């Protein structure tokens, strides 16, 4: 049995060598020691650099093909669709050109989209800084010389495993993400009842969502932790000799050294919150696409949902740019 297989492999090898030879020594393409000759007259000198780049590109080829098929083509196709009204009749699709009507409809006729989008923007603007601050605090805490480091890390990284749509949805429905016990504390109730209602309402909603927000901080905690551990201990020692306390050294050493990581974390947080499967905008877009929420004739179907996704993407990129811009402005004025 084994001998037979070996025999076959041996024969295959001979055939493959012939094929290889035929592929590199024919009229269209010929390979010599120094040149690649196409059609007998196009000579390309193979330098080491060229060979390296060809090998590199062939490693990347997989990605290039995937990018064209699964990223670039769908992006352009959905952009193209967003200017049409698309109707599916069985297997065939009917498309009527609408110009920018789809985009107009999103703002003028759609009773839900703008409302949901504004809600999303507010949520992101409030939640992202909170997530970052809490992630930083937790990372700083774990970075202290504490007992049971491994256990704490395990706990704080748990959400990355658990955060999945249906489970979170379930916990949200049952009120398990609102931490009822926080509001039961006398002090917090006292504070909430006695301050100005304009201040109390956001505070209250903060308590309601804090758990969910903290649960988004898993990866960011690790990013910060890795950054904190890379800061040279000697810098802290030198600053202590100069009389800097822990407070000063946090603002003057720790924060500036992990600033790039804050930008990374912001981008990560915005993206993960925006593509989270319970995000209202995302759910709405899918419902529009599947025709489950129909408002009027224009505001439904593939074309309209493509327009909505592009609007959503643009809003997301703008939010990221604003956050990153704010971070870099502060850096310049401090220096």
DSSP bridge partners of 85: 96
DSSP 228-295: HHHS-HHHHHHHHHTT--HHHHIIIIIHHHTHHHHHHHHHHHHHHHHS-TT-HHHHHHHHHHTT-S-B
**Taking a C-beta distance cutoff of 8 angstroms, is the pair 284, 268 a contact?**
no
* Residue 53 near other proteins by CB under 8 A: yes
Site for other proteins in 85-144 (CB under 8 A): 134, 137-138, 141-142, 144
Among 44, 108, 203, 226, binds other proteins (CB under 8 A): 226
Site for other proteins in 147-186 (CB under 8 A): 150, 152-167, 170-171, 174, 176-177, 179
Q: Which is nearer to other proteins, 181 or 333 (CB)?
A: 181
Residue among 285, 291, 287, 298 at smallest CA distance from 98: 298
* Residue 13 near other proteins by CB under 8 A: no
Instruction: Give me the long-range contacts of 41-50 (CB less than 8 A, separation at least 24).
Output: none
In degrees and rounded to multiples of 5, residue 30 shows phi and psi of -130, 140
Smallest distance, Å, CB 78 to other proteins? 5
* Residue 19 near other proteins by CB under 8 A: no
* Residue 222 near other proteins by CB under 8 A: yes
* Residue 291 near other proteins by CB under 8 A: no
Site for other proteins in 296-335 (CB under 8 A): 302, 305-306, 308-310, 312-313, 316-317, 320
Residue among 104, 123, 125, 100 at smallest CA distance from 113: 104
User: Using CB under 8 A, which of the segments 10-18, 121-129, 185-193, 239-247 binds other proteins?
Assistant: 239-247
Give the chain's end-to-end CA distance (angstroms, integer). 75
Among 21, 70, 185, 251, binds other proteins (CB under 8 A): 70
Among 89, 246, 332, 333, binds other proteins (CB under 8 A): 246
Number of residues that bind other proteins (CB under 8 A): 92
Site for other proteins in 260-279 (CB under 8 A): 260-261, 264, 267, 271, 274-275, 277
Q: Which is nearer to other proteins, 29 or 276 (CB)?
A: 276
3-state secondary structure of 299: strand
Q: Which is nearer to other proteins, 41 or 97 (CB)?
A: 97
Q: Which is nearer to other proteins, 128 or 222 (CB)?
A: 222
Instruction: Give me the long-range contacts of 216-219 (CB less than 8 A, separation at least 24).
Output: 216/127, 216/131, 216/159, 216/163, 216/269, 216/272, 216/273, 217/131, 217/134, 217/135, 217/138, 217/156, 217/159, 218/156, 218/157, 218/158, 218/159, 218/160, 218/163, 219/160, 219/268, 219/272
Q: Which is nearer to other proteins, 40 or 271 (CB)?
A: 271
């Amino acid at each position: 049995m084994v001998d037979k297989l070996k025999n076959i492999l041996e024969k295959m090898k001979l055939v493959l060598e012939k094929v290889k030879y035929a592929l590199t020594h024919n009229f269209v393409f010929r390979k010599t020691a120094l040149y690649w000759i196409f059609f007998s007259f196009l000579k390309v000198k193979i330098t080491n650099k060229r060979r390296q780049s060809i090998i590199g590109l062939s490693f990347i080829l997989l990605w290039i093909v995937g990018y064209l098929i699964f990223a670039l083509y769908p992006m352009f196709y959905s952009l193209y669709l967003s200017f049409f009204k698309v109707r599916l009749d069985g297997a065939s699709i009917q498309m009527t050109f609408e110009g920018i009507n789809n985009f107009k409809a999103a703002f003028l006729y759609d009773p839900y989209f703008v409302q949901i989008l504004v809600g999303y923007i507010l949520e992101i603007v409030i939640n992202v800084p909170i997530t970052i601050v809490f992630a930083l605090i937790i990372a700083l805490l774990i970075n202290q010389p504490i007992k049971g480091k491994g256990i704490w890390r395990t706990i704080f990284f748990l959400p990355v495993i658990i955060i999945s749509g249906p489970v979170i949805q379930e916990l949200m429905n049952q009120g398990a993400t609102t931490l009822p016990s926080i509001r039961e504390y006398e002090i917090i109730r006292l504070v909430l009842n006695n301050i100005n209602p304009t201040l109390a309402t956001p505070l209250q909603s903060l308590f309601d969502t804090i758990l969910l927000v903290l649960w988004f901080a898993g990866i960011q905690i690790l990013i910060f932790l890795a950054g904190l551990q890379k800061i040279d201990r000697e810098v802290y020692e030198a600053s202590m000799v100069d009389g800097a306390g822990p407070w000063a050294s946090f603002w003057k050493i720790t924060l500036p050294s992990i600033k790039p990581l804050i930008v990374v974390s912001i981008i990560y947080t915005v993206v993960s919150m925006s593509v989270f499967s319970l995000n209202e905008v995302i759910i709405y877009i899918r419902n529009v696409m599947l025709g489950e929420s129909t408002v009027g004739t224009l505001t439904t179907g593939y074309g309209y949902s493509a327009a909505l996704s592009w609007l959503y993407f643009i809003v997301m990129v703008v939010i990221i740019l604003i956050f990153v811009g704010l971070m870099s402005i502060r850096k310049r004025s401090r220096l």
